[in-house]
Amino acid sequence: MSENAAGAVIVISSHVVRGSVGNRAAVFALETLGHQVWALPTIVLPWHPGHGRSTRLTFAEADFEAAIDDLIHAPSIGEVKAVLSGYFGNAAQARSVAKLVSSLREKNPELLYVCDPVMGDLGGLYVPEATAEAIRDHLIPLASLATPNRYELAWLSGAALDDNNAVMEAALSLGPSRMLVTSAVPMMAGGTGNLYLSGKHALLAEHRVVENPPNGLGDLLAALFLSRLLSGVEDEKALQLATASVFEVLARAVKRGSNELMLASDASSLSTPMAMVQMRHLIHPAQRRKK
Ligand SMILES: Nc1ncnc2c1ncn2[C@@H]1O[C@H](COP(=O)(O)OP(=O)(O)O)[C@@H](O)[C@H]1O
Ligand SMILES: Cc1ncc(COP(=O)(O)O)c(C=O)c1O
């Protein structure tokens, strides 16, 4: 039995019929890497709205809250070692998940809560402001690790983030002890990548940009990084592996001309990525202040 069998992960995000965003990415990635998964959808859609009109199947706020209460009182809730949240259908759902995380923490102070604050991108917020505010005010303060993209971090911190020093200062100001910032400012020409900041680490993992990327890369990255941490992989290695997997899955999908990630075909890229990632140690903001 792998060490992963010892604990389950609750994932809470959107479910699409076709495609691999939200929970479809997180569940497959976590299960492929050997974790037990409990999956709660926040909305159900035929496909990611980026592909065109897509009917939103929604849950009444009180029903979503009731399902969260069931989970809190589930006899098997002691199995749960981590929670990962992503896309929310409304602000009330974010508050319900805050209640879930707080309740699980009371019973298990070691609970890992990863908050992927899915709210926007370069073009601005794509969720209602009330949803973004609920994530900022109720969930970020509970997060063991938050995984915003650079534009989400700018919105959350209210700062302009033109270079990675500004990214790191904003990440520190947000509060969680570990931050994984995606779409960080590239140091490599034609590159992109992820910046990881903890009390000890200031790391940048870079690779080249791929044109016309399918959606769901941030969802996949958060799940893979969480998986590696749960498996006891050291942070720097976890960053390298998760980044390499995302890049490899992306490059393979685009090479085939697919408009979605093809996780089932590329499961080996999740477990044993071969792609090279450029790892850089940055000067930690605490170290810079001492100078
Ligand atoms: N066009 C791209 N080419 C190569 N890698 C990409 C591209 N877009 C995203 N990635 C990789 O996926 C990571 C997460 O994607 P990002 O778009 O920042 O997340 P989100 O989906 O949460 O907005 C990025 O940090 C980068 O490593
Ligand atoms: C309904 C919906 N909209 C938008 C997004 C964000 O897409 P992306 O991860 O590509 O930024 C997601 C991702 O989970 C989603 O499920």
Q: Across all residues in the chain, what is the average pLDDT?
A: 96
pLDDT over 70 (residue 229) = yes
The residue type of 129 is E
Residue 146 near residue 179, CB atoms below 8 Å: yes
Query: For ligand 1, what atom is nearest to the CA of residue 212?
Result: 1
Residue 290's pLDDT is what? 82
Q: What is the side-by-side order of every strand in the sheet holding 80-85?
A: 36-45, 8-16, 80-85, 112-115, 145-146, 178-181, 191-197, 202-208, 278-281
| Alpha helix stretches (DSSP H) within the chain | 23-32, 61-72, 91-107, 129-134, 150-157, 164-174, 217-230, 235-255, 267-271, 285-290
Listed residue (84, 112, 115, 117) closest to 223, CA to CA: 84
pLDDT over 90 (residue 130) = yes
- In the DSSP assignment, the letter for residue 284 is P
Average pLDDT rounded to a whole number, residues 26-35? 98
β-bridge partners, 19: none
pLDDT over 90 (residue 19) = yes
CB-based burial label for 131 (10 Å; 0-12, 13-18, 19+): buried
Residue 247's pLDDT is what? 98
Distance from the alpha carbon of residue 189 to the mean position of ligand 1, in angstroms = 16
Q: Crossing angle for the helix pair 217-230 and 23-32, nearest 10 degrees?
A: 30
pLDDT, tens digit (0-9, with 9 covering 90-100), for 178-190: 999 999 999 999 9
State the Cα–Cα distance between residues 215 and 21, nearest whole angstrom.
6
- Site to substitute for ligand 2 among 43, 56, 219, most atoms within 8 A of C-beta: 219
Ligand 2 pocket by Cβ (under 6 Å): 13-14, 21-22, 45, 48-49, 86-87, 118, 121, 215-216, 218-219
Q: Is the CB of 192 under 6 A from ligand 1?
A: yes
State the Cα–Cα distance between residues 139 and 111, nearest whole angstrom.
14
Q: Is the CB of 49 under 6 A from ligand 1?
A: no
pLDDT, tens digit (0-9, with 9 covering 90-100), for 245-258: 999 999 999 999 99
User: CA-CA distances (angstroms) from residue 73 to 27, 68, 89?
Assistant: 22, 9, 23
String of b and e for 181-194 (b: at least 16 CB within 10 Å)?
A: bbbbbbeeeeebbb
Distance from the alpha carbon of residue 192 to the mean position of ligand 1, in angstroms = 7
- Site to substitute for ligand 1 among 135, 161, 167, 183, most atoms within 8 A of C-beta: 183
Neighbours of 15 (CB within 10 A): 19
Question: Quick check: helix, strand or coil at residue 103?
Answer: helix
Distance from the alpha carbon of residue 18 to the mean position of ligand 2, in angstroms = 13
pLDDT, tens digit (0-9, with 9 covering 90-100), for 137-162: 999 999 999 999 999 999 999 999 99
Residue 6's pLDDT is what? 64
| Tokens read off for 181 | 């910032």
Distance from the alpha carbon of residue 213 to the mean position of ligand 1, in angstroms = 8
Average pLDDT rounded to a whole number, residues 198-202? 96
**Which residue has tokens 């849950």?**
59
For atom 19 of ligand 1, the residue with the nearest CA is 218
Residue 2's pLDDT is what? 42
pLDDT over 50 (residue 174) = yes
Query: For ligand 1, what atom is nearest to the CA of residue 149?
Result: 18
Average pLDDT rounded to a whole number, residues 70-97? 98
Q: What percent of the chain has pLDDT over 70?
A: 98
Q: What percent of the chain has pLDDT over 90?
A: 97
Residue 247 near residue 213, CB atoms below 8 Å: no
Q: Is the CB of 246 under 6 A from ligand 1?
A: yes
Q: Is the CB of 220 under 6 A from ligand 1?
A: no
Q: What are phi and psi of 275, to 5 degrees?
A: -65, 145
State the Cα–Cα distance between residues 113 and 104, nearest whole angstrom.
10
Q: Is the CB of 194 under 6 A from ligand 1?
A: yes
- Total residue length of the chain: 291
Residue 197 near residue 191, CB atoms below 8 Å: no
Q: Is the CB of 213 under 6 A from ligand 1?
A: yes
pLDDT band at 3 (very low <50, low <70, confident <90, very high): very low
Distance from the alpha carbon of residue 63 to the mean position of ligand 1, in angstroms = 33
User: CA-CA distances (angstroms) from residue 221 to 12, 100, 109, 158?
Assistant: 15, 23, 25, 24
Neighbours of 123 (CB within 10 A): 7
Residue 178 near residue 197, CB atoms below 8 Å: yes
For atom 27 of ligand 1, the residue with the nearest CA is 193
pLDDT band at 228 (very low <50, low <70, confident <90, very high): very high
